[in-house]
Amino acid sequence: MDVYEHRIEECSLEALQTYCSTLDALVLRCRGEKPSEEVMCCKFYAQVKTIGPLAFDIESFDRMRNDDANRTYCWLRAAVDRVLDKWRADQHRIVYSASLRSKQSTCQGSTAAPAGRGVHDLPTHRMV
């Protein structure tokens, strides 16, 4: 597989993350001439334009004039990275919140005094 044939599997953020990681690895493995900025921009745009959470950024990109200095692969990639960073933070927050809920339920179950002896029932030792 090479940079030119690499395709995103589906329109999800998980697939987008995998696509970007693999694309980075493929670009790093390029021997000789690497794909131009224009080629990377066109190929990347074609792959990410249908990802829902990127709609705002894609619309902004589409409104840019062709001679706009920001209409580049780097701009698109930064937009994708921002969306992926937010998605990963949201995923971590969900997992963290779930872990807090499970700790609370565990702690609430263990706060009750154990059955049997209480503090006043402990044997006392007298020194004679």
Interval 4-42: pLDDT, tens: 889 998 999 999 999 999 999 999 888 878 889 999 999
Q: Which two tokens stand for residue 60?
A: 């902004």
Contacts of 35 (CB under 8 A, 6+ apart): 3, 4, 27, 43
Interval 43-86: pLDDT, tens: 999 999 999 999 999 999 999 999 999 999 999 999 999 999 99
Give this prediction's pTM.
Answer: 0.72
DSSP codes joined into one string, 5-74: T----SSSHHHHHHHHHHHHHHHHH--SSPPPHHHHHHHHHHHHTT-GGGHHHHHHHHHS-TT-TT-SHH
Pick the residue with more confidence: 96 or 107?
A: 96
